Amino acid sequence: MNDVARASLDGKIALVTGAAGGLGQAFAERLAQDGAHAVLVDIKPCAETAALVEAAGREAMSVICDITSEESVAYLAAEVEIRFGRCDILVNNAGIYPIQPFEQVTFADWRRVMALNLDAVFLVTKAFAPGMKRRGFGRVVNISSSTLNTVASGYTHYIASKGGVVGFTRALATELGNHGVTVNAISPSLTRTPGTEGRAPRQGRASMDEEFEQIARLQAIRRVQMPADLAGVVSFLASDDAAFITGQTLYADGGMVRV
């Protein structure tokens, strides 16, 4: 690690949801490498991510928490208050992406996707953004998806939830912009993570490897997106250099979406 180049988040407290693996793990590791202590939140143990954060020389606090529960998020906020007294950077990352044709989506399916992908973004932000506003500094980074623009089939609930994330990002940025708190989103293309690798491929594709390659060919940069392609973008949005960027959705997707 190059300490000179990477000290922009020195001493900051960064909370990442869905931090046990996948993108959340990459974000937490990179934020730690760039100087932040990390609060790792997931329904699964975050021991592996905690080890990466500690290897970067920062403190890791792991909290098992179902962020779709208001009660659990209140517990999380209380624990963070006790341990660190604040949260400076919030990465709302945890999300699910089940593929279901609209006819098969029950209201329970719809609610399950909304509960994690949108309601939990509200709950966790509600728990930590007021403190950021009070202290006059904060960074909220939400994770949307390029599917919002490419509009893949089987994703009515997912795309609706990620559109909600973009709307929430813009609206909250408006309210917090004058208080030192920025709110932005990133929009990735299909990225190799345990979640996507473990998924069944879409109809007509033999394997997820084939699907990864096919999607990559639609991007301007025709290789499969990896978590490392996004981690630095999140860290940048969390940094002082991004202090004048807010309400934006950054398409970090290899040129999948060109707007």
Ligand X SMILES: NC(=O)c1ccc[n+]([C@@H]2O[C@H](COP(=O)([O-])OP(=O)(O)OC[C@H]3O[C@@H](n4cnc5c(N)ncnc54)[C@H](O)[C@@H]3O)[C@@H](O)[C@H]2O)c1
Binding residues for ligand X, rule: CB under 6 A, are 17-18, 20-24, 42-44, 66-68, 93-95, 97, 116, 143, 145, 188, 190-191, 193-196
Catalytic option among 75, 97, 155, 158:
158
| Residue placing its CB nearer to ligand X in the complex, 95 or 131 | 95
* Residue 108: closest CA among 157, 42, 69: 157
Render 205-229 in DSSP notation, one character per residue: -S-HHHHHHHHHHHSSS-S-B-THH
In whole angstroms, how close is the CB of 50 to ligand X at the nearest point? 13
* Residue 141: closest CA among 166, 113, 114: 166
In whole angstroms, how close is the CB of 131 to ligand X at the nearest point? 20
Residue whose Cβ sits closest to ligand X: 95
In whole angstroms, how close is the CB of 231 to ligand X at the nearest point? 11
In whole angstroms, how close is the CB of 3 to ligand X at the nearest point? 28
Render 64-115 in DSSP notation, one character per residue: E--TT-HHHHHHHHHHHHHHTS--SEEEE---------GGG--HHHHHHHHI
239: Cα separation from own chain's centroid: 16
Amino acid letter, residue 73:
V
* Residue 124: closest CA among 94, 101, 146, 147: 94
| Residue placing its CB nearer to ligand X in the complex, 136 or 207 | 207
Q: Is 251 a catalytic residue?
A: no
Mind telling me the catalytic residues?
158
